[in-house]
Amino acid sequence: MNLIRKLGLVVLALMATAYVAGPVLAQDKEAKEDKEAKKEAKDYEIRKIEAMAKNRGAFGSPAWGAGIGAGLVIIGAAIGFGKIGAAALESMARQPQTAGQVQNAMLIIGALLEGATFFALIICVIIGVSA
C-alpha cells in the first residue's frame, strides 16, 4: 500500500511538471522568433543609415543647414539692431528730454536681442559640428 501511494505521488509530480513545463517550452519558439525579428530590424536600420551616409552628397550635410541658419541669424540680428538704433535716434531727436530713458531702453532691448542671437548661433554651431 505504501509503495502504491509513493508511486502515485511520483506519477502526480511528473504530470504536474509536464503540465507546467509545456507552456514554458512553447515560449522558446516565440522568443527565438522575436529575437530574429529584432535582429532583422536592427540590421535594416544599420543598412538604412549606411545607405543614407553613402547617398549624402556635398550639399546633403547638416553643416550646410547650420551655416545657412547662422547666416540668417546674423542678418536678422543686424536688421533688429538697425531698427532699434533708428527708432531710438528718431525718438531722441523728437524729444531730447527723454534721451536718457530711451537710451536705457535701447540698451536693454539690444542686450536681449544679442542674447537671443548668441543662443541661435550656438545651436547652429553645435548642429554643424556634430554633423
Given 33, 55, 77, the domain boundary residue is 55
Residues 20 and 70 in one domain: no
Task: Check whether residue 32 and residue 74 sit in a common domain.
Answer: no
Residue 58 DSSP symbol: G
Cα(112)–Cα(115) distance, integer angstroms = 5
Quick one: average pLDDT of 6-20? Answer: 74
Predicted confidence band of residue 34 (pLDDT cuts 50, 70, 90): confident
pTM above 0.95, yes or no: no
Do 126 and 65 share a domain, yes or no? yes
Residue 102's identity, in one-letter code, is: V
Does 68 lie in the same domain as 92? yes
Question: Is pLDDT at 67 greater than 70 in this prediction?
Answer: yes
pLDDT confidence band for 43 (50 / 70 / 90): confident
Q: What is the pLDDT of residues 74-109, one digit of tens each?
A: 999 999 999 999 999 999 999 989 999 999 999 999
Q: Are residues 47 and 28 in the same domain?
A: yes
Show the domain range for 14: 1-55
Task: Indicate whether 48 and 65 sit together in one domain.
Answer: no
What are the phi and psi torsion angles at 22 (to 5°)? -60, -55
Distances (CA, A) of 10 to 3, 15, 17, 20: 11, 9, 10, 15
Q: Does 108 share its domain with 66?
A: yes
Structural domains counted in the chain: 2
